């Protein structure tokens, strides 16, 4: 059985980044805090994939903050 000590090299593989984008697109993902839509990202897909690949590989990627959305809950829950 193989032992994996790090997964980052699996994450920054371009094939996996493309697959992740495909899943986000299929789920009709919402824009993040930066306002970038799926269409915006897709318009420069290979450039964006390359940027993410290099940034993750060199440990220089700095993610944007997550956009928070409050979900109303009925009283008593």
Identify the pLDDT of residue 73: 87
Q: Give the tens place of pLDDT for each residue, 30-75.
A: 887 888 999 999 999 999 999 999 999 999 998 877 777 788 888 7
Q: Give the tens place of pLDDT for each residue, 10-32.
A: 899 999 999 999 999 999 988 87
Q: What is the pTM of this model?
A: 0.74
Question: CB within 8 A of 29, min separation 6: which ones?
Answer: 38
Identify the pLDDT of residue 76: 63
Instruction: From residue 63, give the alpha-carbon distance in Å to each of 24, 52, 60.
Output: 17, 10, 10
Using CA atoms, how far apart are residues 29 and 18, in angstroms rounded to an integer? 15
For 24-77, the DSSP string reads: HHHTTPPP-TT---HHHHHHTHHHHHHHHHHHHHTT---PPPPPP------TT-
């Amino acid at each position: 059985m193989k032992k994996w000590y790090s997964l980052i090299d699996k994450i920054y593989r371009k094939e996996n980044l493309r697959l992740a984008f495909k899943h986000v697109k299929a789920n009709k993902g919402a824009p993040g805090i930066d306002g970038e839509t799926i269409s915006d990202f897709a318009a420069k897909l290979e450039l964006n994939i390359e940027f993410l690949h290099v940034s993750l590989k060199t440990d220089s990627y700095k993610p944007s903050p997550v956009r928070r959305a409050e979900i109303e809950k009925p009283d008593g829950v």
